[in-house]
Each structure stands twice: as C-alpha cells, then as structure tokens.
Amino acid sequence: MKELFQHWDFIHYFQSAEYSQKFLKKCYEKIGSSEAEMKSYDNCYPFMYYLEQGDLYYKQAMISPLSIKPILLFYGYIHFIKAIVLTEDPAYPETTTVLAHGITSRKRKKQHYRFLQDEVKVQKNGLFTHFSDLVFHVKHIVGEKYKMEDLLVQIPELEEAFLILLKKKTMFWFNNQHELTIDETVLSHFHMSEDLFKQYLSEKVTGNLSWGAPSTLQAASPEECLPFRWHLNRNRLALPGIRNDATTIPEVLIHYAILYNLSMIARYETEWWVELLKNRTNEDYPIITTFINVTAEKSPFLLLKILKDKL
C-alpha cells in the first residue's frame, strides 16, 4: 500500500513545466523524433494537465457515490492514458480519428440483460487502439469482440468473487519465490499432460521463464508477463485458469474496456443501472462493485508505472 501512495506522489513530480519538458524531450529523442526540442515545449503543459485532471477524477471518484464512480474512474483513466500517449506520439492528437474512445458497446436488450454477457468491440481508430498500438504493439485486437466475463476473469483480484459467486476457478498462484508448482490439480484443470502443459506455456509466455525441479515454473519477477497476471496487494503472479480471447491482452487494456462499458451504462442505461444498484438481483452487482474497488486502486498504479518505467 505504501508503494501505491508513492505512485500517486509520482504525479506531482511532473507539475513542473521545466521537468516535464526535459522528460518529454528524452522520450522523443528515444523514439527518433527530429523535433524533440520543439515538441517537448509544445506538449509539456498538455502533459501536465492530463496528469492533473486524471488525478482529480480519481480522487473525486474515491469520495463519490457508487452510481457515478464508473464515469469518474473512466475519465481519470483516459486522462492518464492521454499523458502516456503524449510521451510516445509528439503529434498527438494529429487527427480527429484518435479522439474517439476506440471501443464500442453493443445495443442492450431491455429484458434479461446481464452485464457479464455484454460485449465491447475494438474499433480501428480511437484512443484505445492508438494507445494499445503505441505502448503494447498489439494490432491484432482491432475488430475483436470481448465479453465482460472473459475480461473480468483475467483480473487476479477478482478470483475470490468468481470462486464464491460462480464456482469458477480463475487463478493458480505462484508462491512468494515467484514459482508455480505444476501439480496434478493444475494439469487436471487444463486437461493436459505435464509435457504438453510445458509446451503450451513455452509458446504463450511473452517474457523470460525457467523450469525448476520438481515440476516448477520460475518467473524472474512479480510483474505481468502474459499469460501470467499480477496481484497488486499480494505482489504475486497468477496463471489464469480460464483461457479465452482476453488471455493475450495486457491488464491495462482490460480495465479500459470494462470501465468504458460501465461508464456508458451509468450514463445512458440509467434505468438498468439504478435498478441494479437498488435491487441487486444477481451476481452482476457484487462482481461489478468488486471490480470498481479493485480498479480504483490498481489501474492508476498500472498506468503510472508505465510512466515511471520511462525514467
């Protein structure tokens, strides 16, 4: 928790035009910009204001009623993302196409609507697409549709909620030494032999990993290394127990997609949203509230870490 607050303090370092200009200049020189000096001066104040506004939205969300929290959290989120984009794209926003959200939600049915079964679709243009391409170099997700449940089960902090409410095992945990034991429970869950499971992970893991004995997988550090996910407060890795289309998406993008959908619901599906908050008829309510509590704490940490890693 101490580290979390240090990340919040980290924002304040950039509330200096001189420091922000020097920081942006280094970022632009790193990507080979021929106008690093000029663009760093042009962008230092927008960069500072994005961070300041993001900070204000998040802090306001902490003290606001649940009914409007998704809206405030989403706007805080996209302001931090715009600040990050500005470190990678000196010309942002070069065209109006990058000003859209970059993701859309489907039309909702008035009866029997369930949030967990709702979908979002990644658009060709917009902030989500631009950010994901600049930071994570993932272009294959354009046009993809993602179900809310498929996204939510990839967040390790929601493991207990899915286990208790829906009897779904969503995570297998590494120990404090960053080791995952490949035992019969894991192999049975994935319906694989040990050799096949090792082959599967060797093909999927995006970072460095090594195999220990007996039957243990070792990670270099407790940081997200897809398909492994990272738990904020436990500071431990987990292997998602459910494989789906969202398995290869960085968690930063998962929070964006869910927050976008929730903010749209809170703004435009008022009747369904207020009835959910008041009547709490199914598992949608506790899972949504758990996610909101998690993302309020974790998403700014993940985003600000991207900035911090640039120093």
Residue 228 DSSP code: B
In a shared domain, residues 117 and 227? no
Give the per-residue pLDDT at 1: 45
What backbone torsions phi and psi does residue 75 show, to the nearest 5 degrees? -70, -35
More confident call, 256 vs 8: 256
Confidence of residue 219 (pLDDT cuts 50, 70, 90): confident
Nearest-5° angle of CA 135, CA 56, CA 77? 25
Nearest-5° angle of CA 267, CA 53, CA 120? 40
Give the per-residue pLDDT at 110: 63
In a shared domain, residues 118 and 162? no
Task: Note whether 240 and 306 are within 8 A (CB).
Answer: no
Mark which of 197, 215, 240 sits at the end of a domain: 240
What would you measure as the largest C-alpha separation in the chain, in angstroms?
A: 59
In a shared domain, residues 271 and 211? no
Residue 53, sorted as left (phi over 0), alpha (psi -120 to 50) or beta, turns out to be: alpha
In a shared domain, residues 16 and 87? yes
Q: What pLDDT, in 10s, does the model give residues 66-84?
A: 999 999 999 999 999 999 9
What pTM does this model have?
0.94
Tokens standing for residue 128: 């989500």
Number of domains in the chain: 2
Predicted confidence (pLDDT) at residue 296 exceeds the cutoff of 70 = yes
What backbone torsions phi and psi does residue 228 show, to the nearest 5 degrees? -75, 145
In a shared domain, residues 53 and 82? yes
In a shared domain, residues 297 and 255? yes
Nearest-5° angle of CA 204, CA 205, CA 211? 115
Q: Could you tell me which residues are beta bridge partners of residue 225?
A: 228
Please tell me the least confidently modeled range out of 22-36, 51-65, 115-129, 174-188.
174-188
Domain extent for 89: 2-154+248-308
Please tell me the least confidently modeled range out of 5-19, 98-112, 205-219, 225-239.
205-219
Q: How many helices and strands, by DSSP H and E, does the chain display?
A: 12, 9
Give the per-residue pLDDT at 41: 96
Predicted confidence (pLDDT) at residue 187 exceeds the cutoff of 90 = yes
Give the burial class of 219: count Cβ atoms within 10 A of its Cβ; 0-12 exposed, 13-18 middle, 19 or more buried. Answer: buried
Q: Mark out the alpha helices in 101-147 (DSSP H runs).
A: 127-131
Predicted confidence (pLDDT) at residue 109 exceeds the cutoff of 90 = no
Mark which of 240, 257, 273 sits at the end of a domain: 240
Task: Note whether 145 and 121 are within 8 A (CB).
Answer: yes
Q: Which amino acid makes up residue 303? A: L
Give the per-residue pLDDT at 39: 97
Q: Could you tell me which residues are beta bridge partners of residue 145?
A: 121
In a shared domain, residues 76 and 216? no
Top-confidence range, 5-9, 106-110, 210-214, 248-252: 248-252
Please tell me the least confidently modeled range out of 105-119, 123-137, 189-203.
105-119
